[in-house]
Amino acid sequence: MNVGDVQDLLERLNNLLRMEARTFGLKYGLLPVQIEALTYLTRCNRYSDTPQAVTEYLGLTKGTVSQSLKILEHKGFLKKHQDTKDKRITHLTPTAKGRKLIEQSFPAKSLKAALAKMKSLPVGNLEESLRTLLREMQYINSRNTFAACHTCRFNEQHPNGYVCGLTKEPLSDREIQLICREHEYPS
């Protein structure tokens, strides 16, 4: 395996996905970063729907994310609200309009079509390989893993349902499928 070739391929795939997002977003006056932020917010849990979490997830500056969130709110794709327990925390919730927009753009149509044509390569192997690559690069770069709650070491299954072992709060079946910024893979 040539690592340079792998990086070139990953960068080219990322560029194609961004071009598709850019083309889609232009119809609504949105940039790819705004589509990415909104996509994240439709897929994250209640512990991860803050401006700080969006900033960490996207790996961008606080200012860039702040401006993107203002635009999304102004265009009616996003609502902000204060935490009921801690008024210093702002939560971000995609509106129905925002969720509908992301349903139309994610996953990318070209990616779905290309994967459908890859009959010779089991897609599950590709997904697992990419997930492992992402996890290793996140560890090497000391980044939060931002993954689904059900894969987290803190996720606990009890007779009455799921509980976050970190917060000790109950989690619904839907919530354990969502992205969490506090996520840690089991050792």
Residue ranges covered by each domain of the chain = 1-117, 122-187
To the nearest whole percent, how much of the chain has pLDDT over 70? 97
Q: For 1-117, CATH number?
A: 1.10.10.10
Tell me how crowded residue 22 is: count the other CB atoms within 10 A of its CB.
Answer: 13
Burial string for 31-68 (b: 16+ CB within 10 Å, else e) reads bbbbbbbbbbbbbbbebbbbbebbbbbeebeeeebeeb
- What is the model's pTM? 0.85
Rounded-to-integer distance, Cα 168 and Cα 22, Å: 40
Quick: pLDDT tens for 59-93.
999 999 999 999 999 999 999 999 888 889 999 99
Kindly state the DSSP code that residue 44 receives in the 8-state scheme. B
pLDDT band at 37 (very low <50, low <70, confident <90, very high): very high
Kindly state the DSSP code that residue 177 receives in the 8-state scheme. G
Residue (of 39, 36, 152, 163) closest to 102 by Cα position: 39
Please state at what angle helix 109-116 crosses helix 3-26, rounded to 10 degrees.
130
Collapse the DSSP code of 55 into the 3-class scheme (helix H, G, I; strand E, B; otherwise coil) and give the result. Answer: helix
